[in-house]
Amino acid sequence: MRTIGEQLGARIRSLIDFFYPLFSKYMKITFYRYGVTGALNLVFDWVMYYLIYTYVLQHHHLYFGFFTLSSHVATLALKFPIVLATGFFMQKYVTFSGSELRGRVQLFRYFVVVSINMAFNIIGIKVCVDLLHFYPTPSNMIISILSIAISYFSQKHYTFKLSSNSSVNK
C-alpha cells in the first residue's frame, strides 16, 4: 500500500509529466522533473523569504542577548526548516521516486546537501548585502540560482542515488 506522500507525489509527477513532451527533445525526464520541482520550491523559498523578512521580522535584526542575527540572515534561518521539508518531499516523491535508499538515509543526506547549500547561501548573502550593498531579496535570489547546479548533482548522485542495476529515472 502506498503512503500519502507516495500518492501525492505520483499525482504531482503526473501533472508535471503532462508537459514533458514539450521539453523531451532538450532534456531527460529526471532533469526536467528536478527543474520543475526545484523551480516551484525556489519560488516558494523566495515568497517565504519576502514574507518573513517584510512581515515577520519587519526588516529588524533578531536579538538573542549574547548575539544578534541581521534581518537578512535571520530570515534565512527562519525559512530553512519549511523549505527543507517541501524540498525533500518534492525530490523524494516526485523527482527521484525510483531511489531505493531508505527514507531516513535520504533525509540525512538531503539535510547534509542542504546544509552545505545553506552555508553557501549565508556566505553569499553576507557578501552581497554587507559587502556589495545589494538589496536582500534580490541577493537571496542570485545566491539561490547559483546553488542549483551543485544541488542537482548532489541530490542525483548522492542523496537519491539509484542502484547500479536500476533503469528508473535515468
Taking only the tens place, the pLDDT of each residue in 60-118 is 998 988 989 999 889 988 998 999 899 999 999 999 988 888 889 999 999 999 888 87
Measured in degrees and rounded to the nearest 5, phi and psi for residue 80 equal -55, -55
The H-assigned helical ranges of the chain are 4-18, 29-51, 71-90, 103-126, 136-154
Whether pTM > 0.85 for this model: the answer is no
